[in-house]
Structure 1
Amino acid sequence: MALSPAKRHFLRVTAAQEAATTAADQPMAGSGAYELQMAQLHQHHQQLKGIQSTQGKEELKAKLLPDYAPYVAGVLASGKGAQDEVLTTVMVWRLDAGDYRGGLDIAAYVIEHGLTMPDRFARTTGCLVAEEVAEAALKALKAGGTFDLGILAEADRLTAGQDMPDEVRAKLMLALGRVAAAQVDPEKPNTADVHSLEVARHFLTRALELHDKCGGKRDLELVDRQLKKHAGTAS
């Protein structure tokens, strides 16, 4: 059931007030808005457990996420970095549901304040964010679609100082390289495309440096070929 405007306002304001008065070294547990959201989260977890399909879970998460939006907005506006399982869970759910911009908004706060992920998540925040966004981009390209290069760039910026396996960082670099390269039409050389190709080459090279079996060798060869083609057209 959708939240009424009054309920949404109450949750946002209460969350902001409670987050503003909870120190970074303390958990949000015990505050009214947080406990309400945790109770709701428990109910929603039970619903998700009843679904085996990954796509089905993602679709349900997308429907449930608006119930947490007021709380999240309040915490992000006024929070001081208190440990918050609702916030970190919603961050993951947003990424799962394809709301990458919304997920990264929370990730910026989580990483800035060093919030820990709930025990059920094996990966650190930086690793999780980098890998989830990279895999989404690579999956979209494989299916013949597109992906927002700005989302990938933001994921890279946010996680730049975070520790993670080289294979995961390479996957993000590979996604950046492939998406940048995909912006160029190989059949219609244009000098304006040179920048995109150079960006693609930079990230693909970095991906291979981190993990030589990341799958980017063929991509790099194609980009180099296109750069030579553009250079020949320009001359």
Structure 2
Amino acid sequence: MANMAGPAAAPGPAAALQHDGRPSGDDALHVENLRGHDRGHGGGPYSLVIPAGKCTILSGPSGSGKSLLLRMIADLDPNTGDVRLGATSRNAISGPAWRRQVIYVAADAGWWADDVSAHFDDFAHNRPEFDRLAHQLGLRPDILSAQVSQLSTGERQRLTLMRALARHPRFLLLDEPTSALDQDTTLAVEAVLRRVMAGGIGLLMVSHNPAQAARLRDAQYVMSSSGLKTLEMHSA
């Protein structure tokens, strides 16, 4: 995968919001008969298609297995079944290579160092791009010099999104990315997500907010104890 920028020239503001150099054609993320090892608790099987450049919403009661499904797609939890990027099977590439293209973004992710700057090497040669994206997400200008332990949950959520975007993924698996944010900040994050999609990145996003789902979704799946169902979309 390419870094955020080379030393010769800094990319424009959209650089963190799109994947680069990917082949055309079927760029969708295909999930077929995906099962977890614990089949009695949200273990599937699940089949769904997440198109590139679109937002697919995943909703359903707490505890129904939404987070587990996202983690299985990212190959972070044990599973069986087939997951493909276009025609390329997940089994054909290494786990780390897969997770650079299909990134799971937890509601409150782990941080391996207390210095925020330690997590953003991908922005090392492109500080203006970091500052622009931080501003778009409503983060304070000095956030890069902060300590993770001193941040609010909402600040950590937005930095986690930035950390994922810096890796130029093809798909983001977003687990309630605005759950700790107020309405204005939520709308700012949604605006960034729309630009992300315009750059070709596909989203599978867990949301318990019906209004948010209606604003962002191109498709929606509802998870329950009986499985995964497509929500019928009706034109206004």
User: Which category of TM-score, normalised to the shorter sequence, fits these structures?
Assistant: under 0.3
Question: Relative contact order (C-alpha < 8 Å, sep 6+): which is higher?
Answer: 2
- Structure number with higher helix proportion: 1
TM-score normalised by L of structure 1: 0.26
Q: Which has the larger radius of gyration?
A: 1
